[in-house]
Structures are given as structure tokens and as C-alpha cells.
Amino acid sequence: MRRLGYRAVDIIVDHFAHLSTKRVGSLKARQEMEAIFREVIPKEGMDPGELLDFVEKEVVPNLTHLDHPRFFAFVPGPNNYMSVLAEFLAVGLNIFSGDWLGAPAAAQIELVVIKWLTDLFQLPESAGGLFVSGGSMANLMALVLAVHHKKQPEKVGVAYCSDQTHSCIERAIRILGKERMELRTIDTDERFRMKGEQLSRAIQEDKGKGKQPVAVIANAGTTNTGSVDDLKRIAEICEAENLWWHIDGAYGGVGILDERQQELYVGIEQADSIAIDPHKWWFQPHETACLLVRDQSQLSDVFYMMPEYLKDVDLSEEEINYSNYGIQLTRSFRAFKLWMSLKTFGLNNFALAVKRGIGLAELAEQEIRKYAGWVVVSPASLGIVTFQFHQPGWSKEKINQLNQAIMDEMLKSGFAMLSSTALHGRRVIRLCAINPRTTEEDIEQTIYQLDSIAKKRALFATAD
């Protein structure tokens, strides 16, 4: 067991040590993967050392590295080694984190970390929450709370979000049932923030149709552009209309650690619930996310159940059973990873890493502006910048196709990975630079290579 464990540690440490020299991702076809991995279920086992040989040869090289310093697509996942060790211990000891009886230390550590987070967002003493699998689960649970605590049974409820809100909100509405809840999308302004006046009008229109406005989902860092909605204005609207106010801060909520950004977060302390994903900008392994709520008792109001076979674990109110605060009964010890990280590095180092990510995106914007033909579509915000290559006289459709082709060619090169998105009808290239391992040279070389691809593509297209 020790020999195999040390071998696994060597694989992980080698990954950390040599990550920058690897391709960002592997674009193998399904047929190639089938040829390597497809087999009937093994009836006889194999030597575990040989199995690790196979893993090192066939699994490790065929991964996309979300923690690569030049992975700029979607939201990167730059984890840290202390969290890896925490995950290893939690899984190795098979810690059950559903009730106090199962693991009092795990329950207490989760209580402590949740308190750290609610204090960070200046939520009241009544606040609490729990760790969940990801932002999708946190956002779904928040809407379940909204429906339970705000919606009248006889009316169709309406939730409001912007056109930049993450798709998991629409999925949550589907799960809740469109016959119970509808989702209404509000346009965004030139900074890709929800339009407050349009939100107010939509609420009044729906009330006039006999529907019941129930919840507003605001963004503290959109996936597309890193934009933060006008939280203070939305808080005022929600308070006036008695609506549940949820903030999706899955990736961007941690931006509050940068004192230069804190004005963006004014009003967040009034939220009824907040979703955050430490497996993004808190540098944790997947799956590590949190739902924070203004009043912790609202979680148990919805999720508390105590069947006969669990009566022995129903202790006093002080000994918290987290299985009564969420969907899962059997829960892994997710809080351990963030606790180990914060205990090791301290919040100040996390703040420095967040500031660095914001600064790298600002550097990327400066580099983009140096090259002819490139236009910044959304300036650097919370580590994200979007841009587009233009050709004079070309149609909007042709420019969109060119930018997608630039993106695809960069991906095939293996040097860096970015993503594309649509912003108000424009196909743009998007760079998210939140990895503290990313160097300034990584940014400069990525923009240089994008420009080289763009000029070549444009030249060929003009010749055609």
C-alpha cells in the first residue's frame, strides 16, 4: 500500500512540477479512446503496479489540464497540493460528513469554514450554509429555498436573471417544473450588467398578469465577461417587492478579497443566499462549492427529515447534522480541502493570488490593444477579458466565423486553450487568467500567437 501510494504521489508531484511544459489538452477522437479503454468487465484482477503503469501511459497524457498556466478557457481549475492532501486523507479515511455522530471533527470544521465565508460577505450572525458539489447544486438549492419560503401555492412563480446568467439557472427551473416556476431574462447594458429599470418593469408586468414574482438571481462575476450586476440597486428592488434575492458568485464572489474591487460588492451583505465555488478561484480540487444563506434555519425548514433508522443521530441542536441542511444524506468531507488551504496559506495569500489573476487579465487587455485589427469587446473584469479580430468591410457573420476559426486553430496547437462566446450577437474570444502559475510571458506569447493565426487566416480568406 505504501509503495503504491508513493507512486501515486510521484505522478501528482511530477504533474505539478512539469505542467507548464505539457500541451494544455489532448484532442483525441472517441474512436482512439475506445481502442485504448473499451473491454468487457474484468473477471480476474491485475497487478496494481502494472495498472499504475497503464494509468501513467494512457490516462495521464489524455487529459485536458484545467490547472495548466495557459488554460484560459471557461473558468480554470488551478488547485493546490495541500487540498490534494486533504482530499486524499478524506477519501482514504472514508469520512462520512452527513451527521455529527459520523464525524464530529468534520462537522465542526465545516461549521468553522462556513462561518469564515459568511463573515467575508458580512452576512448576519443568523447566517450559515453547507458545502455541495458545485455551483449548479448551490443555485438549485437556493431556488428551492426561494420557492418554499416565498411562493404562493396557487400561483405560477417567476424568477428573474440577466442574459449573462449561467445556464444552470435555467436547468434548475426545469427541475423545479415550468408549470410551477418560469424564468424571465432581463437584458444587460453595455457593461453586461442586468438593467435595473427593465427588471422593475418586468416584475410589475408579471404581477399584472396574475403571476407571482418570487426571486431575482444576480451575478457577482459572470462567466462570459466577469461583470458584476448593480447589487445595491437589485437589493433595493428585492426588498421593495419582498423577493428572494440570490447571488451567483460561483467564480467571481472571491473577487471581494481585492480591496480595489470591493465597491462592486456593495449590497451583497443583504442577499438571502449566495453560491460560491472554491474549486474555481479559491484554488480547490473539484467538487468544492458552497451555498451560503442569510438565515441557516431556512435550510432545515426545507431539508430536515428524520426517518426511524436515523433517530440515533438526532442529537441536540448544537451538534449539527448537515444531511438535514441539504439534498445529500451521504456527504463527503468537502470542507476539509478549503480548511487545509486556508490554515496553510492564510487569507492574505489567497487575496494576493486573486489580485494577480485580475492583473493578468489587465495585462492581456494591454497586449491585445497593441496589435492592429483587434478590438476589446469587454474590458478586463475579475480576471476575464473578451476581444475580437476585425477585418474592414467584412460582414458581421464572416467576422464571427473568422474568430471561431482563430479559436479552433489555437486549440489544435496545444499551446494555449481559450474559449469563445457570444456577446450581444458577436462571436468573441474569451480569456480567463485566474491561475497564479500563469506568467506574464504566458499571456504575451498567447496573444502573439493569436495575432499570428488571425493575420494568416484573414490573408487566406481574402485570397479566396
Instruction: Decide if pLDDT at 316 tops 70.
Output: no
365 upstream amide cis, omega within 30 of 0: no
- Whether residue 461 has pLDDT greater than 80: no
Q: What is the pLDDT of residues 384-415, one digit of tens each?
A: 999 999 999 999 999 999 999 999 999 999 99
Domain boundaries, the chain: 2-68, 86-346, 348-463
- Distance from C-alpha of 214 to C-alpha of 143, rounded to nearest angstrom: 9
Report the distance separating Cα 447 and Cα 288, nearest Å: 31
Q: Can you give the pLDDT at residue 26?
A: 82
CA distance linking residue 427 with residue 425, whole number of Å: 7
pLDDT band of 463, cuts 50, 70, 90: low
Report whether pLDDT(188) > 90. yes
Please write the tens of the pLDDT for every residue from 123-140. 999 999 999 999 999 999
CA angle, corner 256, sides to 253 and 259, nearest 5? Answer: 160
pLDDT score recorded for residue 252? 98
- Report the alpha-carbon distance of residue 404 to residue 427 in Å, rounded: 7
Q: What is the model's pLDDT at position 319?
A: 87
Phi, psi for 126 (deg, rounded to 5): -70, -10
Distance CA 339, CA 334 (A): 9
- For residue 428, list its beta bridge partners: 421
CA distance 312 to 78: 41
Average pLDDT over all residues of the chain: 96
Condensed to tens digits (0 to 9), the pLDDT of residues 346-374 reads 999 999 999 999 999 999 999 999 999 99
How many percent of the chain have pLDDT more than 70?
99
Same fold, 86-346 and 348-463: no
Half-sphere exposure of 347 (CA within 13 A, CB side): 10
pLDDT in tens, 17-68: 999 999 999 889 999 999 999 999 999 999 999 999 999 999 999 999 999 9
Residue with cell 501515486: 8
With 80 as the cut, is the pLDDT of residue 420 above it? yes
pLDDT at 277 over 60: yes
If you classify domain 86-346 with CATH, what class do you get?
A: alpha beta
Domain covering 348-463 assigned CATH 3.40.50.300 in the classification: no
**What pTM was estimated for this model as a whole?**
0.97
Helix (H) / strand (E) containing 376: strand 374-381
| Amino acid of residue 228 | V
Whether residue 427 is predicted with pLDDT greater than 70 in this model: the reply is yes
> Reduced to 3 DSSP states, what percent helix, strand and coil does the chain have, rounded to the nearest 5?
50, 15, 35
